[in-house]
Amino acid sequence: MHTTIWEDNVGALTLAKMELPRMTPRSKHIALRYHWFRQYASVDDGKDGGIVVKTIGTKDQLADIFTKGLGPTLFEGLRKELCGW
């Protein structure tokens, strides 16, 4: 059984795709102990581990309704998908 994470952040997708635990110029500040998820993560295929990281468009990310200040059109569209009204 695996867990699917829908991600629209390019930086997070890049970190998940890296096979070796190496740092990029932007990720060097992240402590190595937080890179443990790489051994469990696979991107879009589910072959390697228990965490599948899939790409989703920014306009379709339902979690944004809880984390961002959205305009009325986008908010109402995400609310309709999430709640049905």
Take residue 22 and report the two structure tokens written for it: 């190496």
The whole-number pLDDT of residue 17 equals 75
pTM: 0.65
**Matching residue, tokens 């989703």:** 56
Domain that holds residue 64: 3-83
- Tell me the pLDDT band of 14, cut-offs 50, 70 and 90: confident
Residues 38, 42: Cα–Cα separation, whole Å: 8
The whole-number pLDDT of residue 72 equals 93
Report the number of distinct structural domains present in the chain.
1
